[in-house]
Structure 1
């Protein structure tokens, strides 16, 4: 069963997965597809044709512009912005108001388990890797690798994180999650799980 708050604006052409909740003043546009058990917080915006996997959380007042694609278990913090215009202008070079046909939207892709902290901005087109974390207030202008913790303006990798979101600790050649005990190995700035 889907819950839609009375003051939410959900297009009848959107597809909302079972168990999902859309809260007050949120807007979900036409052709958006949300998986099962997703939460869209108060005042959040989900653009036309956005795709979200299962178990995603989009917190209050976040703006997810089309054509963003979110994997399963993605967290979008309060007031996050996922942009969609590489060269934004309100008018054409001759001063005419631009229409939807005067530009080509580009999207942000966020892979499974990744988290975007409060008020971060992801400048499309960028890809956020699996289980990566973007710190609050960061501005992401380049792709973020799997398991990376990035922060700053522009965002840079400052640590590695595991699936629990906690920074990993170095043990010899491996990185270890202090919460789960999972082990990872780094090679050429890429972190992979150790079998």
Structure 2
């Protein structure tokens, strides 16, 4: 059985942590947080109560994860990524209700990106470093910039897909690294069946 590792400098109040998870230096995790198996939570992170983190998630240094954020399995969150959960913040707002944000399976968020609350980042999407994400990101979407816009699509392996053919008014994109093919129609992408 894989042990949970919690560095002695961290304050972890939740008991809901999956086996094999590692929590490094100066991390604070509040009581209501749920953290899956085999996660790696790096130093100087803060995780609030109403947070769900799936299995095999990597959260790099300096990330704060606020109430209302759900992170599915196999997600990578780069250093100093900033999440928000309030579109109109005010000090001492007693009627504040956090807005929900969802990061779907396999997505990767580059360092120093800002994720505005209330959006969904699709499966296996890739967000370039330093981006400000204000809208939903489609599955496999490659986005970057300020504000971040869709620049293309990526494979499950993370490689940028290239347009290789047109088939019945649908683009077919191919990964040069692993040779998987995807069909795209109206910015929706689907992996081809083999």
TM-score category (smaller protein) = over 0.9
8 Å contact kept, 1:17–1:37: yes
**SS of the counterpart of 1:158?**
strand
1:190 has 2:192 as partner: no
Aligned residue in 1 for 2:162: 169
Partners of 2:116 and 2:132 lie apart in 1 by: 7
Aligned residue in 2 for 1:42: 43
Alignment of 1:9-158 (within 5 A): 9-11=11-13, 13-90=14-91, 98-99=92-93, 101-158=94-151
**SS of the counterpart of 2:160?**
coil
8 Å contact kept, 1:5–1:23: yes
Partners of 1:86 and 1:30 lie apart in 2 by: 25
Aligned residue in 1 for 2:169: none
- The TM-score normalised by the length of structure 1 is 0.93
Count of aligned residue pairs for this structure pair: 186
1:107 offset after TM fit, Å?
2.4
Segments of 5+ residues of structure 2 without an aligned counterpart are: 167-171
Which has the larger strand fraction? Answer: 2
8 Å contact kept, 1:34–1:51: yes
Note the aligned Cα RMSD (angstroms): 1.0
Partners of 2:144 and 2:114 lie apart in 1 by: 11
Partners of 1:30 and 1:176 lie apart in 2 by: 44
Find runs of 4+ consecutive structure 1 residues off by over 2 angstroms: none
Partners of 1:179 and 1:35 lie apart in 2 by: 30
Cα distance per residue 1:18-56 (max 9 Å; x no partner): 000000001111110111000110001111121011000
Segments of 5+ residues of structure 1 without an aligned counterpart are: 91-97
- The TM-score normalised by the length of structure 2 is 0.93
